[in-house]
Structure 1
């Protein structure tokens, strides 16, 4: 029979069914698909230690797995129920199931002993009643004792009384007076019969011993003793004392007490002192451990009749005990009373918390309300002591809600973030409503699984790399690094170059990147003079699905190296490496500007700072050359002893490491006019030969003089810098050209020739004979040179030579 009440499934089966017998089609009753049943999808969970039922996953039937003895499980309870739960894992649902165990007539009535003696005085009047040993039958209803029969005799009748609860109580009634002299012993057969099918019965022999006169039976002070006792009272605690008095004298007055009508479990809990009538607690009873107790563990001391407590009581097994106590005097007369003991519950059991199902790890994108775990809570106490409430100890994004039948659900309460908290130690506290309340804590470790919800992040918003030009091909020039807060493949970052501002050539011919490490490599050597900087977009992409990415800009600056030697712009050089003739007036005084060497350097910065040196001269004392201006001036006036034609070798050197240089040879002729200088110019080749022997000495002397001159000039510059840090000559380049922040030129470059990309600004009041020299920008080709002078003849001659 299957009954559904408030969502609960109930079946009814008889006890002692064979193992494997079907209880009911639980799959059909719950609406489950039989084909989808498995030990992982559906589980049967029983509350007791013994698993009485199991699920057949092929047919969907609930069947019996263990022998079911109703009397062993439920004892004298009218309703015997076995509870279990059906847990559906994938739906996170459970269905409570109750199985009612009905009684069958599997126990025959039985007496505690096969025979017992009943002593009756011969003076006992007819109609007197005598209590006899009562039979016991653990079955219920009609299967229990229904009647008693006494064998045919001439002195006794049997009176059967039905008391509360339908219990049959039998007493012997003396129908005819006894005569000890006529018959001292009467043997009677008492038979107890139940109402089962088939009928079962049990017998005991009553030996009636006729005694001499004892005309007063013991009398109890009250017919019913009612008392309450707390569970877990100490051993030996007295519960109640029954008292019976006898008006006889001597032996007939001595009263002894004993239990008569008592359940099997009562002697395990209480002991009766046969002399004093004190009832004390001796044992502890528990539903789960009741089957472990044996009758021989409990005894009644017949000598002193004292009942003492050996173990505390446990309210969870039974709430009250009802027993009959017999008082018998020395003459054999007996009387009875009833003792009712109520056990009061104490809150001595903390709640039990069990995780029946846990889902771990939990994805971090789980929506609020996702079921994480099913929790079973049970308290063995009764009333408020057994009512339990659960709550969470910590402020976590979870909540706990009551389900049914002491089950709770653990759910997510807000969004999860694995990167913030990868795991939780969730502590659940179950507290009952007893006084004082008892609680139990249970902790589970819940791990959060990762999803790809974080894009790679670079350490900086942009990067700047500096690479010297002429770098080796394949060298690593820079490295970028991005981190991803996710895990495993969601955090595996690969790098790639998306674009750059190099439009003329493919990016792959210049730059490559290691997709795993982020190292950037140069595919070829860079040339500062070709391009000085470029930028590119680097992408970092993770391995998630779908992948996430982020970009960063990398600017690469090419650093200049001294890889370009100076180039002579003026004077122009012939095929033999020498410049054309320059004419110098004989009347030129000291400091006269003869000509100027103009050079440029394709490098930049310090590598483009040029210095000019006079290496060789026919007459070293006659000419001087500006270290930074390249101006060649007369060092003294022309003398008659001096040669008319002179040959000067000049050196232009940059400031790089190592320095690069270039030389140019100048031919000078002292003459007042062009007609006078023409013969010297045409006789250039003839005059050079006689002077070849002299040139060696001139070069040697010029080197020595140049060294001393450079040393003197360096010292003079140092002293001058100390006196003044703002020479007028370079004021047009800034307020402080020698400061660390605004310096554009090296020290002592106030008269120097600037790099190829600069313009020279000279002060007009520095020297009277100075002239302005205009250098065009690097984007235009030098088309000419203008020399301005206050002497018309010199200007005309210079312009003719320039043309």
Structure 2
């Protein structure tokens, strides 16, 4: 910056007017620039990025920004070059008035380093204003008797510029009666007086018109003029005098317009018209002239506009009392404006991280706030607060700056977002406050595993289901969000399984629907257990498992199977013997049947479907026992054929039939005789012997064959019963409840023991048949 010693010369003034900037950095870390006023918009102020110690490549990531520029943003940061540029045309006089140094303060925030730098920009003056008189003409009415040396105060010219560019001197047009003289006052403010140098003679000249010129020290020099008109009068030889040299008053900034501030008082020893005084205000700045006024007659000074402590904390002016002879006196008036709490605090968001991970540690920065209050003293002291029930807190970082940080652990699944209301309250009376709302959203992390709607699933499916039939649907939910909550399903193969699980069931990975891949047979598979795994889409994924129990329900798809009497392999039917002398209720045989189904599908019932002699035999509905229903009579046939129906309880029922042949006789000879008597009619005596021998031989052969077949049949049935007892065979694995009868009987077998001897004599075959004995054996599976 050029030395002040050279400002008076033309080269020095030229250097000040056209210099673009001078920058330096103070030892306190502040950055200062100097620029002349009236620079064009967009003009270069300083290389801010370089002075911050940053490279141009670091600019996008460092988050450098101007966070405070005052009421009018005069400067901006060029993000392409890193230069500080002017955004407005700056008038030093409008910004700083008559201050000796005009400084604009900026606050620059380097966000990534949380560094706040103060930048001061000094606006230097150029000679852009000419001296100007508030009044274009001054008129004095001076008595011709006025003594030489009498002074008449003139209104000084005003030049908003400072230094050598400000007002430097006055010149008065050439005349012989008057001269100019400047006096230095006690307050270092100069007074300009018109001094009478030669007595006036009204008769010689009644009016004197003079030109007053004010010049500054700029290059080039600027000037302003005013007309001075002197009217020569008679007889006013006493000037007014104020009661005190200085008037002071304090007033609240919120007083209404028109409020009386004070009353000034001046007196004049003259009499009559020469003692009538007129009051006026002098040395008023442009703003002050719009704020205050004085009653020209009474001297009451009141407000003409609104006061604002933030614009001006005090005013200084002069009040003038002038008599009719243009003699006047002046007194100083000092007005002090008292601040009231009329400005609410302002909250500016300088940095905001609206999305925060839910696993962020306490102390994570969310927002940086700038709090300001234009008031002063306690009225400008501000405190910030947020609601106490939020997981956040405010901490003061720098002057007027607060950081909103996390205070404890966050959980997005409990609360996905917060609206944080920040309240700024000053200490005024009454206090004023303002609020701003910050929306904070929590971003999800994969911290929750899928959870099934049930701890386990038990489902059922009827057997003989079609392939692809839906079995069930499992459902798992994940409290996370987005991809972390996307659940897929899969089947887990169990250990020790005979067939792979994938051959029996499948699952839809997106919906969790389980389908049967084949038809199930209850008699082969009654229960299938497997596990389903749910996995989310997080990284790394989280999993959970659930057990599924699939029950195959029985259907009536198996007809009853008759175990006894069994059908011989040669196609003949078995024969049961019933003594003719048996009483009603005699157990002839028992039909034994089983059903591979279960439950009511395996409940069997028996009924006699057809009989040779109706009413002679009965069949137990639940036991299958064939018993005599009455005594045998002579007309009852030797051979009785019974058809027994076995039916299950399914819907629809399935059934099977068996034919039981019963031979009615007390002994084998009786049986043979009955058969021979029925085999041939009476013949002539001559052929009787021959036919009888043939018949007896035939019957004997048939009977012998019958006995051998019967013994073989009984041995076969005995072997089958042994196989049933050892749980081997077709129904070895069938539960007890599947067999006939509710008493759990598996088989009811008859064993017949017969002894026969054959002798030859007299050309005859003779059979000796001991008494037939019948033993019943009942074997239980219980």
**TM-score band, normalised by shorter chain:** 0.7 to 0.9
1:178 offset after TM fit, Å?
3.4
Query: Which residue of 466, 472, 478 corresponds with 1:484?
Result: 478
Q: Aligned partners of 1:35 and 1:574: how far apart in 2?
A: 105
Which residue does the alignment assign to 2:36? 14
1:483 offset after TM fit, Å?
1.4
Query: Which residue of 624, 627, 632 corresponds with 2:626?
Result: 632
Q: Give SS of 2:289's match.
A: helix
Describe the superposition over 1:531-573 as per-residue Cα deviations: whole angstroms up to 9, x where unpaired. Answer: 1101111111222232222111111011111111111112221
Which residue does the alignment assign to 1:339? 333
Q: Aligned partners of 1:327 and 1:545: how far apart in 2?
A: 89
Q: 1:393 to 1:161 in 2, by over 3 A?
A: farther
Q: Give SS of 1:442's match.
A: strand
1:39 offset after TM fit, Å?
10
| TM-score relative to the length of structure 2 | 0.81
Query: Which residue of 664, 667, 690 corresponds with 2:661?
Result: 667
1:371 offset after TM fit, Å?
2.1
Q: 1:794 to 1:257 in 2, by over 3 A?
A: farther
Which residue does the alignment assign to 2:233? 211
Query: Is the contact made by 1:268 and 1:283 (CA closer than 8 Å) also made in structure 2?
Result: yes
Describe the superposition over 1:282-339 as per-residue Cα deviations: whole angstroms up to 9, x where unpaired. Answer: 113xxxxxxxxxxxxxxxxxxxxxxxxxxxx222110111111111101111111111
- Residue 348 (structure 1) aligned with residue 330 (structure 2): no
Q: Aligned partners of 2:676 and 2:218: how far apart in 1?
A: 160
Q: 1:624 to 1:272 in 2, by over 3 A?
A: same
Which residue does the alignment assign to 2:599? 605
Query: Is the contact made by 2:603 and 2:740 (CA closer than 8 Å) also made in structure 1?
Result: no
Which residue does the alignment assign to 1:701? none
Q: Aligned partners of 1:214 and 1:149: how far apart in 2?
A: 28
Which residue does the alignment assign to 1:557? 551
Query: Is the contact made by 1:121 and 1:332 (CA closer than 8 Å) also made in structure 2?
Result: no
**Please, which moves more after superposition, 98-107 or 424-433?**
98-107
Query: Is the contact made by 2:751 and 2:774 (CA closer than 8 Å) also made in structure 1?
Result: no
Which residue does the alignment assign to 2:147? 125
1:157 offset after TM fit, Å?
4.3
Query: Is the contact made by 2:274 and 2:325 (CA closer than 8 Å) also made in structure 1?
Result: yes
- Residue 434 (structure 1) aligned with residue 435 (structure 2): no
Which residue does the alignment assign to 1:766? none
Q: CA RMSD in A?
A: 3.0
Q: Aligned partners of 2:573 and 2:113: how far apart in 1?
A: 101
Describe the superposition over 1:156-191 as per-residue Cα deviations: whole angstroms up to 9, x where unpaired. Answer: 443323346753322233344433334434444444
Q: 1:578 to 1:446 in 2, by over 3 A?
A: farther
Q: 1:626 to 1:271 in 2, by over 3 A?
A: same
Q: 1:439 to 1:492 in 2, by over 3 A?
A: same
Aligned residues: 685
Q: 1:200 to 1:685 in 2, by over 3 A?
A: farther
Query: Which residue of 737, 741, 762 corresponds with 1:755?
Result: 737
Q: Aligned partners of 2:546 and 2:518: how far apart in 1?
A: 23
Q: 1:177 to 1:536 in 2, by over 3 A?
A: same
Q: 1:42-81 residue pairs with structure 2 within 5 A?
A: 42-48=64-70, 50-81=72-103
Q: Give SS of 1:529's match.
A: coil
Q: Aligned partners of 1:521 and 1:357: how far apart in 2?
A: 55
1:602 offset after TM fit, Å?
0.9
1:626 offset after TM fit, Å?
0.8
**Please, which moves more after superposition, 666-675 or 180-189?**
180-189
1:152 offset after TM fit, Å?
5.5
**Please, which moves more after superposition, 589-598 or 135-144?**
135-144
1:357 offset after TM fit, Å?
3.4
1:474 offset after TM fit, Å?
0.9
Query: Is the contact made by 2:749 and 2:776 (CA closer than 8 Å) also made in structure 1?
Result: no
Q: Give SS of 1:524's match.
A: coil
Query: Is the contact made by 1:501 and 1:535 (CA closer than 8 Å) also made in structure 2?
Result: no
Describe the superposition over 1:210-243 as per-residue Cα deviations: whole angstroms up to 9, x where unpaired. Answer: 3212111111111111001111211211111111
Describe the superposition over 1:693-722 as per-residue Cα deviations: whole angstroms up to 9, x where unpaired. Answer: xxxxxxxxxxxxxxxxxxxxxxxxxxxxxx
Q: Aligned partners of 1:348 and 1:241: how far apart in 2?
A: 28
Q: Aligned partners of 1:379 and 1:601: how far apart in 2?
A: 96
Q: Give SS of 1:372's match.
A: strand
Q: Aligned partners of 1:4 and 1:635: how far apart in 2?
A: 132
Q: 1:6 to 1:636 in 2, by over 3 A?
A: farther
1:35 offset after TM fit, Å?
1.8
Q: 1:262 to 1:511 in 2, by over 3 A?
A: same
Query: Which residue of 517, 522, 526 corresponds with 1:523?
Result: 517
**Please, which moves more after superposition, 506-515 or 388-397?**
388-397
**Please, which moves more after superposition, 573-582 or 522-531?**
573-582
Structure 2 unaligned spans of 5+ = 1-22, 681-734, 754-769, 778-782
Query: Which residue of 312, 318, 322 corresponds with 1:318?
Result: 312
Q: 1:618 to 1:222 in 2, by over 3 A?
A: same
1:606 offset after TM fit, Å?
0.8
Structure label with greater radius of gyration: 2
1:37 offset after TM fit, Å?
2.7
Query: Is the contact made by 2:146 and 2:199 (CA closer than 8 Å) also made in structure 1?
Result: yes
Query: Is the contact made by 2:601 and 2:649 (CA closer than 8 Å) also made in structure 1?
Result: yes
**Please, which moves more after superposition, 193-202 or 673-682?**
673-682
1:247 offset after TM fit, Å?
1.6
| TM-score relative to the length of structure 1 | 0.79
Query: Is the contact made by 1:269 and 1:283 (CA closer than 8 Å) also made in structure 2?
Result: yes
Q: Aligned partners of 2:197 and 2:176: how far apart in 1?
A: 8
1:40 offset after TM fit, Å?
9.9
Query: Is the contact made by 2:622 and 2:740 (CA closer than 8 Å) also made in structure 1?
Result: no
Query: Is the contact made by 1:125 and 1:177 (CA closer than 8 Å) also made in structure 2?
Result: yes
1:674 offset after TM fit, Å?
4.5
Q: Aligned partners of 1:387 and 1:207: how far apart in 2?
A: 56
Which residue does the alignment assign to 1:291? none
1:529 offset after TM fit, Å?
0.7
- Residue 270 (structure 1) aligned with residue 292 (structure 2): yes
Which residue does the alignment assign to 1:406? 400
- Residue 496 (structure 1) aligned with residue 478 (structure 2): no
Q: Aligned partners of 1:625 and 1:243: how far apart in 2?
A: 147
- Residue 649 (structure 1) aligned with residue 643 (structure 2): yes
Query: Is the contact made by 2:358 and 2:412 (CA closer than 8 Å) also made in structure 1?
Result: yes
- Residue 202 (structure 1) aligned with residue 224 (structure 2): yes
**Please, which moves more after superposition, 250-259 or 374-383?**
374-383
1:652 offset after TM fit, Å?
1.0
- Residue 2 (structure 1) aligned with residue 4 (structure 2): no
Which residue does the alignment assign to 2:684? none
Q: Aligned partners of 1:401 and 1:436: how far apart in 2?
A: 25
Q: 1:672 to 1:194 in 2, by over 3 A?
A: same
Query: Is the contact made by 1:2 and 1:9 (CA closer than 8 Å) also made in structure 2?
Result: yes
Q: 1:324-403 residue pairs with structure 2 within 5 A?
A: 324-393=318-387, 395-403=389-397
Query: Is the contact made by 1:229 and 1:343 (CA closer than 8 Å) also made in structure 2?
Result: yes
Query: Is the contact made by 2:69 and 2:75 (CA closer than 8 Å) also made in structure 1?
Result: no
Q: Give SS of 2:135's match.
A: coil
Q: Give SS of 1:130's match.
A: strand
Q: 1:414 to 1:786 in 2, by over 3 A?
A: farther
Q: Give SS of 1:637's match.
A: coil
1:79 offset after TM fit, Å?
3.7
Q: Aligned partners of 2:62 and 2:73: how far apart in 1?
A: 18
Q: 1:484 to 1:159 in 2, by over 3 A?
A: same
Q: Aligned partners of 2:255 and 2:35: how far apart in 1?
A: 39
Q: Aligned partners of 1:574 and 1:26: how far apart in 2?
A: 116
Describe the superposition over 1:74-103 as per-residue Cα deviations: whole angstroms up to 9, x where unpaired. Answer: 222334232334344566665443322222
Q: 1:114 to 1:77 in 2, by over 3 A?
A: same
Q: 1:402 to 1:758 in 2, by over 3 A?
A: farther
Query: Is the contact made by 2:603 and 2:741 (CA closer than 8 Å) also made in structure 1?
Result: no
Query: Which residue of 560, 563, 566 corresponds with 1:569?
Result: 563
Q: Give SS of 2:145's match.
A: coil
